[in-house]
Amino acid sequence: MAAKKKILLVEDQDDARAFMRVLVEGAGWEAQEAASSAAALESARRDKPDAVVMDIMMPGGSGFQCILEMRAVEALKAVPILVCTARFNDKDEEQCRALGADDFITKPFKNEDLCGKLRKLLEKSAGPRKS
């Protein structure tokens, strides 16, 4: 049996993180959690997630900075990042994508939209690899 895909949920709001955990685990994936940018970087370096769901507004460092720092780590460069934030404007989305985020979803979101976007990112990242 194939190992479950690991999804790192980076969200400072406990209830929002718990809700995403239920969705992720319900989709058959393993949820890992981080409540800050620093914890997210530590977890990502240690556990090498298959995808990351990243909030933008967090204490102790923004999601923007966290995306930039993750993309600077060789082992994390190809890990898909889905930005999930209540803060939305075209400039934020452009900045996230410029820093290396792969997709963007706004809160509140439909349950199936979050899992659908994650599924697409996981399928895309699981494509043929170059040697």
Domain CATH number, residue 20: 3.40.50.2300
Token duo for residue 70: 């993750």
Could you tell me if residue 1 is inside a domain? no
Phi, psi of 73 (to 5 degrees): -95, 120
User: Which residue segment(s) compose the domain that 74 sits in?
Assistant: 6-123
Using one digit for the tens of pLDDT, what is the confidence trace for 77-96? Answer: 999 999 998 877 788 889 99
Average the pLDDT over 13-21 and give the result.
Answer: 95
User: What is the number of structural domains in the chain?
Assistant: 1
Could you tell me if residue 42 is inside a domain? yes
Query: Rounded distance, CA 112 to CA 27, Å?
Result: 10
User: What is the pLDDT, as a whole number, of residue 127?
Assistant: 55
